[in-house]
Amino acid sequence: MAHLNDRIERDHRGTQQFGTLFALEHGRVVPAVPVRGHLFYRDFYGLPSMDDVIDTLQAGIDAGRSLAELDPPRSLAAPYTPLTHTELRRELGRMVAADQDARHAYAQSVRAGTPDPALQEAVARADADNHARVAQILDTVGFPGPEMVGRDGVSTFFLLVQHADDDPALQQRALALAEPLMRERRMSRQQFAMLTDRVLLAQGLPQRYGTQTVTGETGTLVLAPVEDAAGLDARRRDMAMGTAEAYLELLRARHAAP
C-alpha cells in the first residue's frame, strides 16, 4: 500500500509520503523524489524508519549489489485479512465521533469569544461515557490491536485513553497494555510517547519525550519539565519524532493562528 501510494503521489505531485521510492546519486542511496510527512506515515503503519531502510540499501550498494536487486519491483496487492472485532471497531468510531463533535462545538464557542458552559458540560459527559467504556474494553480485550480493529481503530482507542486525564491509573494501565503493541510496531510510537509523557506528568515526574507543553511566563508555549534534556532529541528520534525545537515551532505557529 505504501509503495503504491508513493507512486501515485510521485506521478501527481512530484513527492512521496512514505519514502519507499529510492534512486542512486553518485553511489549514494537517496529518495527518488522529495518526501513529506514520512515520520508520521511510516510510524502509523509500523514501517521501519526511512534512515534504517537507506542504511540497509547503502550497505548492499557498497557490497557491489545493484539497487534494482536490493529494491526490486514489488506487488501492489496484499492479501486481505478480516478484522476480528468489527463491531468494536464500529463502536470506537461512534465513541470518537461523540468525543470530537462535543469538543469542536465547545472550541467554536471559545473562538467566538463566548465560551458556552453547556457545551463544556457536553464535553465532560462525552468523556465520562467514553471513559467507562474504555475501562470495560481494557478489562475484556486489553488494548485493541490492529488485527482486531485496524490501525485507525488502534489510533482511535488511543485518543479516547488520552482524554481520560481524570483517571491517571487507567491511563497507566492502558500504557502498560499498549507497550507490546508499540514494540511490535502494531501501534504508533509517537502516540505511545504522548501517552507515556501524560502518565509521567500525572505522577509528578518529568516527561520523557517532550510531547506535552505549558504556557511559559511570556505567554509562549514551552515544554513541560523533561528528564535528561540533553538526550531528548535522541529519544524522540527513537519514537519516530522530529526535534523538540521543530515540534515547538509547529505548535507555536498553530497557537498563534487566528
Q: What pLDDT score does 119 carry?
A: 97
- Three-state SS letters, 62-109: HCCCCHHHHCCCCCCCCCCCCCCCHHHHHHHHHHHHHHHHHHHHHHHH
**Of 170, 178, 177, 223, the residue nearest 199 (C-alpha):** 170
* Whole-angstrom distance, CA of residue 195 vs CA of residue 160: 11
CB 18 within 8 A of CB 38: yes
Residue with cell 483517571: 167
Alpha helices (runs of H) in 21-72, residue ranges in sequence order? 38-44, 50-62, 67-70
The DSSP letter of residue 234 is H
Q: What pLDDT score does 258 carry?
A: 60
Residue with cell 526511512: 50
pLDDT digits 0-9 by tens, 208-239? 999 999 999 888 999 999 999 999 999 999 99
CA distances from 255 to 22, 169, 209, 219, 220 (A): 36, 30, 20, 11, 9
**What's the predicted TM-score (pTM) here?**
0.87
CB 50 within 8 A of CB 35: yes
* Whole-angstrom distance, CA of residue 92 vs CA of residue 127: 13
**Of 67, 63, 64, the residue nearest 29 (C-alpha):** 67
**Of 100, 171, 101, 85, the residue nearest 135 (C-alpha):** 171
Q: What pLDDT score does 124 carry?
A: 95
For each successive 10 residues of the chain (258 residues), what is the average pLDDT? Answer: 89 93 95 92 91 95 95 76 97 97 96 95 95 97 98 97 95 98 97 98 98 92 97 97 96 80
Domain ranges for the chain: 2-70, 83-187, 203-258
Q: What pLDDT score does 256 carry?
A: 75
